[in-house]
């Protein structure tokens, strides 16, 4: 296991690699090394056939394609380390293919459904304006629920139409915010300013009416489900549904995929491409409207 120890030390020093990822890679490589031991193969002698057999063994014990893809990703990292550090001359994972993973298309709300959810919020209740602002910011800015809960007053530049968002890996991005979301926030601030919020919580945008602390993700999930039920929406709804709806509606409206990627804070464009599941009728309409072969000639 000396190679494993050196690999674990190596990935511990890699910048930007999350603790959960390091632990997963270590566990996956350990599993592979145990399999190699049973096969009587040294890690330095592994070839593509060994890797295929290992992948098949995972399938045989019921490991899903998604989990297998993650395990093979850990093996690629391991063998990249062995190659770069001179333990092996060639990386056997270079030609290793990742199992195809069926894409699960996220639920998307229509604009009218979002309006129904907002209309289901009772503004006479203490949390009414706060929750209207939450729904509108989730939808208008495409935030993750963790980003919404961590949003601070000092992150808002409402006069300029932008908010600063702390995304995954503490990466910051600027996201445009529309006039309707700004209006809902301003209505919430009237109620918020009347709350005796402790100094350490003063900078958070969304706070609990009762506890006077910034909201947790669980609280936001709880209220979103209640309002969806009141609105008569039966499809499974979560705060993330508004983020999916934000991206899909932008794409349907003609927004550039790279711009959507930037607003969502996706590191890879491939993550954003899941939102290209546009209605076929919309695609047909776009092709008929904009493809040069379909435009009626104005000559002759």
Exactly one of 7, 25, 227, 275 is catalytic; name it. Answer: 275
132 and 238 together in one domain: yes
Exactly one of 37, 168, 180, 211 is catalytic; name it. Answer: 168
Condensed to tens digits (0 to 9), the pLDDT of residues 174-184 reads 999 989 999 99
254 φψ region: left (φ > 0), alpha (ψ -120 to 50), beta (else): left
168 and 116 together in one domain: yes
Label the pairing between strands 172-176 and 156-157. Answer: unpaired
Say whether 192 is catalytic: no
Exactly one of 129, 130, 132, 144 is catalytic; name it. Answer: 144
132 and 258 together in one domain: yes
Q: What is the pLDDT at residue 237?
A: 87
Is 284 contained in some domain?
no
Residue from 41, 44, 46 nearest 82 by CA? 44
Exactly one of 130, 243, 244, 249 is catalytic; name it. Answer: 243
Say whether 275 is catalytic: yes
H-run or E-run covering 166: strand 162-166
Is 230 contained in some domain?
yes
**How far apart (Å, rounded) are the C-alpha atoms in residues 184 and 166?**
21
Condensed to tens digits (0 to 9), the pLDDT of residues 145-159 reads 889 999 999 999 999
> Over its length of 300 residues, how does the chain's per-residue pLDDT go in tens digits?
577 888 888 877 765 567 777 788 888 999 999 999 888 999 999 998 899 888 888 876 778 777 888 889 889 989 998 888 888 988 999 888 776 655 555 688 999 999 999 999 999 999 999 999 999 999 999 998 889 999 999 999 999 999 999 887 778 899 999 899 999 999 999 999 999 999 999 999 999 999 999 998 889 989 999 999 999 998 888 888 998 888 888 887 888 778 888 888 887 766 666 666 544 445 455 556 655 555 554 444
Say whether 204 is catalytic: no
Any idea what the CATH number is for the domain that residue 245 is in? 1.10.443.10
Q: What is the pLDDT at residue 116?
A: 96
Q: Which domain holds residue 264?
A: 111-279
153 and 32 together in one domain: no
Is 296 contained in some domain?
no
Structural domain count of the chain: 2
121 and 183 together in one domain: yes
Q: What is the pLDDT at residue 46?
A: 92
58 and 146 together in one domain: no
272 and 123 together in one domain: yes
57 and 120 together in one domain: no
* Boundary residue ending a domain (84, 100, 125): 84
125 and 274 together in one domain: yes
Is 295 contained in some domain?
no
**How far apart (Å, rounded) are the C-alpha atoms in residues 162 and 178?**
8
Is 74 contained in some domain?
yes
Q: What is the pLDDT at residue 279?
A: 45
Say whether 240 is catalytic: yes
Exactly one of 129, 130, 249, 266 is catalytic; name it. Answer: 266
125 and 44 together in one domain: no
Residue 4's Cβ-count burial label (10 Å; 0-12, 13-18, 19+) is: middle
Say whether 243 is catalytic: yes
Say whether 249 is catalytic: no
Is 242 contained in some domain?
yes
49 and 150 together in one domain: no
Q: What is the pLDDT at residue 156?
A: 96
216 and 270 together in one domain: yes
Q: What is the pLDDT at residue 288?
A: 62
**How far apart (Å, rounded) are the C-alpha atoms in residues 273 and 243?**
14
Q: What is the pLDDT at residue 251?
A: 80
Is 105 contained in some domain?
no
Is 102 contained in some domain?
no
């Amino acid at each position: 296991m000396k190679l494993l120890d050196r690999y674990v030390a190596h990935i511990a020093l890699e910048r930007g690699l999350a603790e959960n990822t390091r632990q997963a890679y270590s566990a996956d490589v350990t599993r592979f090394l145990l399999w190699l031991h049973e096969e009587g193969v040294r890690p330095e002698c592994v070839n593509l056939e060994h890797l295929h057999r290992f992948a098949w063994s995972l399938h045989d014990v019921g490991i899903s394609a998604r989990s297998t893809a993650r395990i093979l990703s850990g093996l690629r990292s391991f063998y990249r380390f062995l190659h770069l550090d001179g333990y092996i001359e060639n990386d056997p994972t270079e030609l290793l293919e990742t199992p195809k993973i069926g894409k699960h298309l996220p639920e998307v709300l229509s604009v009218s459904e979002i309006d129904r959810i907002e209309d289901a919020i009772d503004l006479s209740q203490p949390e009414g304006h706060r929750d209207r602002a939450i729904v509108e910011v989730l939808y208008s800015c495409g935030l993750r629920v963790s980003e919404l809960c961590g949003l601070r007053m000092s992150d808002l530049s409402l006069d300029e139409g932008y908010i600063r968002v702390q995304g995954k890996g503490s990466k910051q991005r600027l996201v445009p915010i529309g006039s309707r979301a700004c209006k809902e926030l301003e209505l919430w601030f009237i109620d918020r300013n009347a709350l005796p919020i402790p100094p350490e919580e003063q900078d958070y945008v969304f706070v609990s009416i009762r506890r006077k602390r910034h909201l947790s993700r669980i609280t936001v999930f709880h209220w979103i489900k209640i309002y969806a039920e009141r609105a008569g929406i039966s499809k499974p709804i979560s705060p993330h549904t508004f983020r999916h709806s934000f991206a899909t509606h932008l794409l349907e409206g003609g927004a550039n995929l790279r711009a959507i990627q930037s607003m969502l804070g996706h590191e890879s464009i491939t993550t954003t491409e899941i939102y290209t599941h546009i209605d076929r009728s919309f695609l047909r309409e776009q092709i008929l409207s904009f493809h040069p072969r379909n435009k009626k000639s104005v000559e002759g």
